[in-house]
């Protein structure tokens, strides 16, 4: 069994309907991607698994779905207007533009152009700051006063609703607000497939705590979030925690740990968990003139809570799960590609396949099975190839079970159920089929 390459993943995603290049018929649009039928299911499952674990299964959290467009002062307060910048340099030789922190150094500590290899002298050619927020205009007049931004993170929607959630839900500390939604960044060097794009989805939690408890909760959330990836099947040796050294921390941050995955292009961030102190609420209190302090009845005190922020990317997580699940095996001398996704993530749980698609009675029975099972599980019908090929295709998209209807099924009311991973087959009575899949934990 070998690790997947990016070429294998990109090709599988296109071929089997997980991810297509955005606006493809017009030649694509710089690093935008569209999730196809399978990818849409995978992403939904992933977001559902996250929401279940951080909102539904916890007593101490609430969900939120805030607007993408926010009052422009939000981004002044958050620091994004002034500070959400990347330092860029132009290569004088090939004229391409790069992020300074993406330039590699040679043995002489000289920075080199990643494209043409020319030395880039930062003293003669100092970097310029480039703001990553995507600007837009609200309303019909495109003047200064109409400028706003597509949010570069979902977090600020949580901070501005802090008091609304506390008041409407009568919350005490510690408690968290979780949200999933689209964010936009005008990345200078997007790439590595869906890893870095200009439009992406985030899943973020702001967990508000008493300042004295912040470090304890920070460590707790790092562990909780690491476990989530592992529980959904990510291999332990492909996941690591990277604690940010002091010089890498934002000026207000007290601590930050990245959860990284070993992608084919190297260790890269899936999610960051940060102790942000009271920076965000303090800023919004100042810019809005509103009192955002939490009132603690027991001590009759008002104070700004500290916040722990686990902030992950849906697209990056989906990519990591795809890469991690991909495997190639040899079965009876032939290659078998399997997407061994966790049962909660697999796009389709069950495929129903007629052994003979020209036999109307077999097809009818297969469709009858689907109309029953389809109410409880995500089930798909397929008769577009021979049974051997259909099995391989379902393996490649991670379908957990294939139910095959054959001539005998018409007599004995039984079907063959094949397991994706073991390829073992069970003969199961039609009236026991739903129970069979329930027992499998679907
Ligand atoms: P990076 O250093 O990779 O640019 P970041 O540290 O700026 O990421 P955060 O601002 O902490 O990222 O965003 C939280 C999460 O949102 C990231 O861990 C990642 O999963 C996701 N994310 C951020 N930027 C992008 C992007 N351009 N494309 C896809 N996902 C992204």
Read off the pLDDT of residues 98-134 as tens digits, 9 standing for 90 and up: 888 878 888 888 898 888 888 998 988 889 899 999 9
Residues with CB under 6 A from ligand 1: 153, 185, 187, 196-197, 200, 202, 269-272, 311-313, 315-316
DSSP assignment of 416-430 equals: EEEETTT--EEEEEG
Q: Which is nearest to 269 in space by CA: 241, 309, 227? A: 241
Nearest CA to ligand 1 atom 10: 153
CATH number of 348-439: 3.40.50.800
Cα–Cα distance, 256 to 249 (Å, whole number): 7
Nearest CA to ligand 1 atom 24: 196
Bridge pairing between strands 61-64 and 175-184: parallel
Q: State residue 69's pLDDT score.
A: 97
Contact status, residue 332 vs residue 388, Cβ threshold 8 Å: no
Q: Which is nearest to 352 in space by CA: 364, 340, 338, 339? A: 364
Nearest CA to ligand 1 atom 19: 313
Q: State residue 1's pLDDT score.
A: 47
Q: State residue 277's pLDDT score.
A: 97
Q: State residue 2's pLDDT score.
A: 54
Q: State residue 251's pLDDT score.
A: 87
Q: What is the pTM of this model?
A: 0.93
Q: State residue 117's pLDDT score.
A: 87
**Regions of the chain with pLDDT less than 70:** 1-2
Cα–Cα distance, 46 to 43 (Å, whole number): 5
Measure 376 CA to ligand 1 centroid, in angstroms.
36
Measure 293 CA to ligand 1 centroid, in angstroms.
29
Sequence-ordered strand ranges (E) for 100-229: 104-105, 111-112, 128-131, 134-137, 147-150, 175-184, 199-209
Judge if 6-69+147-323 and 348-439 fold alike in CATH terms. no
Q: Which is nearest to 418 in space by CA: 435, 386, 395, 385? A: 395
Nearest CA to ligand 1 atom 15: 312
- In Å, how far from its chain's centre is CA 432? 36
6-69+147-323: CATH class: alpha beta
List the domain boundaries for the chain: 6-69+147-323, 86-131, 348-439
């Amino acid at each position: 069994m070998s690790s997947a390459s990016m070429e294998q993943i990109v090709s599988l995603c296109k071929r089997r309907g997980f991810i297509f290049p955005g606006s493809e018929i017009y030649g694509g649009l710089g690093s935008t991607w569209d999730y196809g039928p399978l990818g849409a299911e995978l992403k939904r499952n992933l977001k559902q698994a996250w929401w279940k674990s951080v909102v539904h299964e916890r007593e101490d959290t609430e969900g939120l779905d805030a607007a993408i467009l926010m009052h422009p002062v939000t981004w002044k307060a958050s620091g994004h207007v002034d500070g959400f910048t990347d330092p860029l340099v132009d290569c004088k030789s090939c004229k391409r533009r790069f992020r300074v922190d993406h330039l590699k150094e040679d043995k002489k500590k000289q920075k080199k152009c990643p494209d043409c290899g020319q030395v880039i002298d930062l003293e003669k050619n100092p970097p310029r700051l480039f703001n990553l927020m995507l600007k837009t205009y609200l309303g019909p007049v495109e003047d200064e006063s109409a400028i706003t931004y597509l949010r570069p993170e979902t977090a600020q929607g949580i901070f501005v609703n802090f008091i609304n959630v506390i008041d409407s839900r009568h919350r005490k500390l510690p408690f968290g607000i979780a949200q999933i939604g689209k964010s936009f960044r005008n990345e200078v060097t997007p790439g590595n497939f869906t890893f870095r794009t200009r439009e992406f989805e985030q899943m973020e939690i702001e967990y508000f705590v008493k300042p004295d408890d912040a470090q304890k909760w920070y460590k707790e959330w790092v562990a909780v979030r690491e476990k989530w990836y592992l529980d959904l099947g990510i291999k332990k040796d492909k996941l690591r925690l990277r604690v940010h050294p002091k010089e890498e921390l934002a000026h207000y941050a007290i601590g930050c740990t990245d959860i990284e995955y070993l992608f084919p292009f190297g260790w890269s961030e899936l999610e960051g968990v940060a102790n942000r102190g009271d920076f965000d609420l303090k800023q919004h209190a100042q810019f809005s003139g509103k009192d955002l302090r939490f009132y603690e009845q027991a001590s009759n005190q008002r104070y700004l809570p500290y916040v722990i922020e686990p902030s992950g990317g849906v697209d990056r997580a989906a990519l990591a799960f795809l890469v991690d699940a991909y495997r190639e095996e040899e079965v009876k001398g032939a290659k078998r590609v399997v997407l061994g996704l966790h049962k909660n993530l697999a796009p389709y749980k069950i495929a129903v396949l007629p052994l003979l698609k020209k036999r109307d009675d077999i097809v009818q029975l297969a469709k009858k099975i689907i109309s029953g099972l389809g109410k409880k599980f995500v089930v798909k019908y397929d008769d577009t190839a021979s049974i051997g090929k259909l099995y391989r295709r379902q393996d490649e998209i991670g379908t957990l079970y294939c139910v095959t209807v054959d001539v005998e099924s018409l007599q004995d009311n039984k079907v063959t159920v094949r397991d994706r991973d073991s390829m073992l087959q069970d003969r199961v009575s039609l009236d026991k089929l739903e129970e069979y899949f329930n027992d499998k934990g679907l």
